[in-house]
């Protein structure tokens, strides 16, 4: 499979999982079952006034991608760039789409923020909103102690650029001050990067990522829960709504990652994995997005059912971002390199 199929599969897969979970994000499993039947929700249902609606998770994921692309342009043209600060500026553009005013002045250029369909509130997480509102400068680190899943849910695009772990963890740290909140984000991006770069199996990517990063300070909770679901996988123990509820609700980072990983590891198909990932009492859109990223990057866009792609909100925007990511070198050196005028117009490096 070529790189563009993995990038598209990864980004669209996450968005599809987010959209599948959106209608049930705030429903207990008993209520999901009462509404959708014993299998739970297995197809797009209305949320935010439409079918296939994405949520804040996908919105912030797209702005993280924008930040990474702008960092490429900035680094190439100026020779210096602090990637997390450029991602921060992009996340502040997202904050403005939510009708909040940042404390820092924000430039509303580039094409992404002009997409009017992004200017819509989709139950944005309070932690992200409050941390971004309080940022007094680019690169300002959050002063909260949150380990909510609002960092991990947005960092998947880091997988397609160098230093995935550091860029994901450091950009996660902008909104989430608890180590588990941002270290889980780093681990997730590193797992995705191993699959994208080396065609590793998911299981191999997870174990290798734990070898490299699992013993870093702040990784204890995430490592413990990821190892627990790896054990479930080795034992042939499959996720059910009740079993997922025992692992956790996914509102916090290590639970969201573990649930997404468990559902992706045991999936018989893309569809099977994301359906399992959204049917539980917890944060269904975020766990659906995490499983969708993991499965989409492994199996490519071909593995995602057409009936979902056809009705996915912002499909064209997501595909355009994926194509732009594919155009830039994975390991840009920070200066020089091939000048790409079109990318510079779409992602101004100022």
Q: Are 237 and 261 in contact (CB under 8 A)?
A: no
Locate tokens 């692309």: which residue?
69
Locate tokens 């200066």: which residue?
335
Q: Are 115 and 317 in contact (CB under 8 A)?
A: yes
Which residue is at the shortest CB distance from Mg ion?
A: 55
Name every residue whose Cβ is closer than 8 Å to that of residue 34 and which is 6 or more positions away in sequence. none
Q: Which is nearer to Mg ion, 200 or 285 (CB)?
A: 285
Q: Are 184 and 97 in contact (CB under 8 A)?
A: no
Q: Which is nearer to Mg ion, 90 or 219 (CB)?
A: 90
Q: Which stretch binds Mg ion (CB under 5 A): 47-55, 201-209, 260-268, 309-317?
A: 47-55
To Mg ion, the closest distance from the beta carbon of 285 in angstroms equals 4
Distances, alpha carbon 200 to alpha carbons 164, 166, 190, 236, 237, in Å:
16, 20, 12, 21, 22
Q: What is the DSSP letter of 136?
A: -
Output the CA angle 311-316-322, nearest 5 degrees.
Answer: 120
Q: Is 57 in the site for Mg ion (CB under 5 A)?
A: yes
Q: Are 280 and 24 in contact (CB under 8 A)?
A: no
Report d(CA 169, CA 184) in Å as an integer: 8
Q: Which is nearer to Mg ion, 56 or 313 (CB)?
A: 56
Locate tokens 């900035």: which residue?
74
- How many CA atoms does the CB half-sphere of 259 hold within 13 Å? 38
Q: Which is nearer to Mg ion, 57 or 319 (CB)?
A: 57
Q: Which stretch binds Mg ion (CB under 5 A): 229-237, 273-281, 282-290, 308-316?
A: 282-290
Q: Which stretch binds Mg ion (CB under 5 A): 26-34, 278-286, 309-317, 339-347?
A: 278-286
Q: Are 162 and 331 in contact (CB under 8 A)?
A: yes
Q: Which stretch binds Mg ion (CB under 5 A): 48-56, 74-82, 95-103, 159-167?
A: 48-56
Closest C-alpha among 286, 269, 270, 267 to residue 278: 286
Q: Which is nearer to Mg ion, 17 or 296 (CB)?
A: 17
To Mg ion, the closest distance from the beta carbon of 60 in angstroms equals 9
Q: Which stretch binds Mg ion (CB under 5 A): 56-64, 105-113, 302-310, 329-337?
A: 56-64
Site string for Mg ion, 215-254 (x = CB under 5 A): ----------------------------------------
Helix 284-299 × helix 3-21 angle, to 10°: 160
Site string for Mg ion, 302-321 (x = CB under 5 A): --------------------
Q: Which stretch binds Mg ion (CB under 5 A): 54-62, 134-142, 165-173, 257-265?
A: 54-62
Report d(CA 165, CA 346) in Å as an integer: 26
To Mg ion, the closest distance from the beta carbon of 90 in angstroms equals 18
Q: Is 285 in the site for Mg ion (CB under 5 A)?
A: yes
Q: Which is nearer to Mg ion, 190 or 285 (CB)?
A: 285
Q: Which is nearer to Mg ion, 71 or 132 (CB)?
A: 132
Q: Is 55 in the site for Mg ion (CB under 5 A)?
A: yes
Report d(CA 134, CA 331) in Å as an integer: 32
Size of the site for Mg ion (CB under 5 A): 4
Footprint on this chain of Mg ion (rule: CB under 5 A) = 55-57, 285
């Amino acid at each position: 499979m070529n790189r563009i199929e993995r990038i598209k599969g990864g980004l669209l897969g996450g968005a599809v999982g987010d959209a599948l979970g959106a209608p049930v994000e705030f429903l207990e499993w008993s209520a999901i079952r009462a509404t959708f039947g014993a299998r739970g929700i297995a197809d797009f249902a209305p949320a935010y006034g439409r079918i296939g609606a994405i949520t804040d998770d996908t919105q912030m994921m797209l702005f993280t991608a924008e930040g990474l692309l702008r960092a490429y342009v900035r680094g190439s043209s100026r020779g210096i760039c602090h990637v997390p600060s450029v991602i921060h500026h992009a996340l502040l553009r997202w904050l403005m789409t939510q009708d909040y005013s940042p404390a820092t002045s924000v430039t509303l250029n580039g094409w992404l923020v002009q997409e009017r369909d992004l200017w819509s509130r989709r139950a944005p997480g309070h932690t992200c909103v409050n941390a971004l509102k309080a940022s007094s400068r680019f690169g300002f680190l959050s002063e909260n102690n949150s380990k909510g899943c609002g960092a991990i849910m947005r960092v998947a695009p880091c997988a397609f650029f160098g230093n995935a772990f550091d860029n994901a963890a450091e950009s996660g740290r902008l909104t989430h001050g608890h180590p588990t909140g941002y270290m889980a984000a780093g681990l997730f991006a590193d797992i995705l990067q191993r699959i994208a770069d080396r065609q590793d199996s998911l299981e191999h990517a997870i174990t290798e990522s734990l070898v490299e990063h699992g013993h870093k300070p702040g990784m204890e909770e995430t490592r413990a829960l990821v190892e627990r679901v790896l054990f479930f996988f080795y034992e042939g123990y499959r996720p059910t709504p009740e079993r997922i509820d025992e692992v956790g609700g996914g509102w916090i980072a290590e639970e969201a990652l573990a649930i997404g990983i468990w559902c992706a590891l045991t999936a018989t198909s893309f569809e099977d994995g994301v359906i399992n990932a959204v049917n539980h009492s917890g944060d269904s859109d975020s766990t659906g997005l995490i499983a969708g990223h993991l499965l989409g990057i492994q199996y490519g866009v071909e593995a995602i059912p057409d009936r979902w792609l056809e009705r996915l909100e912002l499909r064209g925007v997501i595909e355009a971002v994926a194509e732009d990511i594919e155009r830039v070198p994975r390991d840009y050196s920070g200066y020089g390199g091939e000048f790409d005028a079109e990318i510079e117009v779409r992602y101004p490096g100022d």
